[in-house]
């Protein structure tokens, strides 16, 4: 959840949604994202909507202690707005920020509130993100007892100089121990986040990080090319010439290294940046975003989508909490997507998935552009689905542009 919000049109103060959007509720699963906007320190590359204790100060409504109450308030509002036709929630994803700076029992209150307000499907996927240094074995046991069944650790790298450039504070071996502790606590669905292309990272450094991550045997790995976000410390250091910019060719080489090594270890890409050991351990919550399901994003700056209506909340935790305290929706603005916007969005998202995009979604002109993509071996068509090859995934943004232009 990058911190710059789009503009959009005004959102109703009671959070209400058009009948047309509500009528689509029974047609697709509903996921709940809950943003925890707190971190102990800010990493120099990170643009997410998150705050250290010093940045938040002591103003009322902005404290970590009161945050869960505000989030539960928004859950109650969501249940009122969605009404009786709402399906039981199929996925919960508590993300950040660093959710595990809050005590496990606080995070457990969120699950209870979702269950009370919406009902939780018996096979629901319930994930929390975690920074490996922010949780210990007892905390992991408690999270599991409280109902979390998936955990995603931010590891990024195992190489000390890369971690230092990224401002990561954990000792290099901590994420791997955290995965082992999570497994011992009963988590059968663990994930690790990695970043490649950090200035100064060699190909050998990247292989070392991949192999270390694989050594922990997680069920899932996300590997992201480092994005230099405007306004971050990393961007300033690059501008001043202290660090080189990530290099496109280096990023491409590292993507191919990742895909080969992860495949060899039994993890297959099911989305451009996400690899899973089996279909059952793909992140169902994120698949909901890519497949245009319904999701309600709880928390400051969180985005939501229900039946073609997209909206996003006020960014600052204090503004967010005070809106809810006055009985109003914390939404800042919203967009009502046209049928054509929804179609284009599906192309943008579904083409990134290994399951591919139904060619029936494409116009005649777009279909005529497929010949070139297929000839360049950037994609194949199987059973009416357009599927990117490894080279196509590497150039995914360009392929999608070529298809839509
Ligand atoms: C926003 S973080 C939240 C989880 C947790 N706080 C952490 O850092 O591990 C989720 C993931 O986004 C990725 N990420 C954040 N900023 C990024 C950037 N500028 N470029 C690439 N990946 C980034 C990192 O891999 C991170 O683990
Ligand atoms: S810990 Fe995660 S969310 Fe927090 S600043 Fe670092 S990358 Fe961003």
Domains and CATH numbers, the chain: 19-290 (3.20.20.70), 339-405 (1.10.10)
- Residue 344: predicted pLDDT: 96
pTM over 0.85: yes
Residue with tokens 């552009």: 369
Looking at residue 4, what is its pLDDT? 64
Q: Identify the pLDDT of residue 261.
A: 98
pLDDT of residue 61: 67
Look at the chain and count its residues: 405
Distance of CA 65 to the CA centre of its chain: 24
CA–CA distance, 216 with 212 (Å, rounded to integer): 7
Query: Which residue among 52, 127, 195 is best mutated to probe the pocket of ligand 1, counting the most ligand atoms within 8 A of its Cβ?
Result: 195
Cis bond leading into 230, ω under 30°?
no
pLDDT in tens, 241-292: 999 999 999 999 999 999 999 999 999 999 999 999 999 999 999 999 999 9
Q: How far is the CA of 359 from the centre of ligand 2 (A)?
A: 38
pLDDT in tens, 6-50: 778 999 999 999 999 999 999 999 999 999 999 999 999 999 999
CA 119 to CA 88: how far, in whole Å?
5
The dihedral over CA atoms of 320, 289, 391, 403, expressed in degrees to the nearest 10, equals -100
Q: What is the pLDDT of residues 169-201, one digit of tens each?
A: 888 899 999 999 999 999 999 999 999 999 999
pLDDT confidence bin for 85, thresholds 50/70/90: confident
The region of weakest confidence among 10-19, 55-64, 73-82, 188-197 is 55-64
Say if CB 341 and CB 365 are below 8 A apart: no
Q: Is 131 in the pocket of ligand 2 (CB under 6 A)?
A: yes
Q: Which residue's C-alpha comes closest to atom 3 of ligand 2?
A: 97
Q: Is 125 helix (H, G, I), strand (E, B) or coil?
A: strand
For ligand 1, is residue 98 a contact (CB within 6 Å)? Answer: yes
Pocket test for ligand 2, best of 38, 98, 133 (most atoms within 8 A of CB): 98
What is the predicted pLDDT for the residue at 56? Answer: 86
Mean pLDDT of the chain: 95
pLDDT of residue 142: 98
pLDDT at 299: 98
Task: Report strand pairing: 274-276 vs 268-271.
Answer: antiparallel
Containing 182, the helix (H) or strand (E) segment is helix 174-184
97 upstream amide cis, omega within 30 of 0: yes
> Which amino acid residue places its CA nearest to atom 27 of ligand 1?
154
At 60 the pLDDT is 64
**pLDDT above 70 coverage of the chain, percent:** 98
- Cβ atoms of 140 and 181 within 8 Å: the answer is yes
Pocket test for ligand 2, best of 46, 102, 299 (most atoms within 8 A of CB): 46
The pLDDT of residue 359 is 97
Q: Could you say which DSSP state residue 232 is in?
A: S
Helix and strand totals (H; E) in the chain: 17, 15
> Among residues 95, 100, 166, 96, which one has the least CA distance to residue 127?
95
* Atom number of ligand 2 nearest to Cα 167: 6
Q: Is 276 in the pocket of ligand 1 (CB under 6 A)?
A: no
Instruction: Count the alpha carbons within 13 Å of 235 in the hemisphere toward its beta carbon.
Output: 8
42 Cα to the center of ligand 2, angstroms: 6
- Assess whether pLDDT exceeds 90 at residue 319: yes
Q: Which atom of ligand 1 is nearest to the CA of 43?
A: 8
Lowest mean pLDDT among 171-175, 233-237, 348-352: 171-175
Three-state SS for 136-152 is CHHHHHHHHHHCCCEEE
Q: What is the mean pLDDT of residues 219-231?
A: 97
Nearest ligand to the C-alpha of residue 131?
1
Work out the pLDDT band at 2, boundaries 50, 70, 90: low
Q: Is the C-beta atom of 193 inside 6 A of ligand 1?
A: yes
Which ligand approaches the C-alpha of residue 232 most closely?
A: 1
What is the predicted pLDDT for the residue at 64? 86
387 has a pLDDT exceeding 90:
yes
């Amino acid at each position: 959840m990058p911190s710059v919000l789009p503009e959009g049109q005004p959102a109703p103060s009671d959070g209400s949604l058009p009948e047309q959007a509500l009528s689509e509720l029974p047609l697709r699963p509903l996921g709940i994202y809950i943003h925890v906007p707190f971190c102990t320190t800010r990493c120099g590359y990170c643009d997410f909507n998150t705050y250290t204790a010093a940045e938040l100060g002591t103003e009322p409504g902005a404290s970590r202690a009161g945050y869960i109450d505000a989030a539960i308030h928004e859950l109650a509002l969501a249940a009122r707005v969605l009404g009786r036709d709402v399906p039981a929630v199929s996925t919960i994803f508590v993300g950040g920020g660093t959710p595990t700076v809050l005590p496990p029992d606080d995070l457990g209150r969120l699950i209870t509130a979702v269950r009370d307000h919406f009902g939780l499907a018996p096979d629901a996927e319930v994930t929390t993100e975690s920074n490996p240094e922010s949780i210990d074995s007892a905390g992991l046991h408690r999270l599991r007892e409280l109902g979390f069944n998936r955990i995603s650790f931010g590891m990024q790298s195992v190489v000390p100089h890369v971690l230092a450039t990224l401002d990561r504070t954990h000792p290099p071996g901590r994420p791997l121990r955290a995965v082992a502790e999570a497994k011992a606590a009963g988590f059968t669905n663990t994930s690790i986040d990695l970043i490649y292309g950090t200035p100064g990272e060699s190909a050998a450094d990247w292989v070392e990080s991949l192999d270390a991550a694989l050594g922990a045997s997680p069920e899932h790995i996300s590997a992201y090319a480092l994005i230099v976000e405007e306004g971050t410390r990393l961007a300033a250091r690059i501008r001043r010439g202290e660090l080189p910019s990530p290099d496109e060719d280096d990023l491409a080489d590292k993507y191919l290294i990742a895909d080969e090594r992860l495949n060899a270890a039994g993890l297959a890409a099911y989305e451009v940046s996400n690899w899973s050991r089996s279909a059952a351990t793909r992140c169902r919550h994120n698949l909901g975003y890519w497949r245009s399901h319904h999701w309600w994003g709880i928390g400051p700056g969180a985005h939501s989508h229900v039946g073609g209506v997209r909206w996003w909340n006020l960014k600052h935790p204090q503004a967010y909490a005070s809106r809810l305290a006055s009985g109003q929706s914390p939404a800042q603005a919203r967009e009502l997507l046209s049928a054509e916007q929804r179609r284009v969005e599906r192309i943008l998202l579904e083409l990134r998935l290994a399951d591919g995009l139904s060619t029936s979604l494409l116009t005649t002109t777009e279909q005529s552009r497929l010949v070139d993509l297929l000839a360049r071996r950037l994609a194949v068509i199987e059973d009416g689905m357009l599927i990117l090859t490894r080279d196509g995934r590497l150039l995914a943004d360009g392929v999608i542009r070529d298809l839509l232009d």
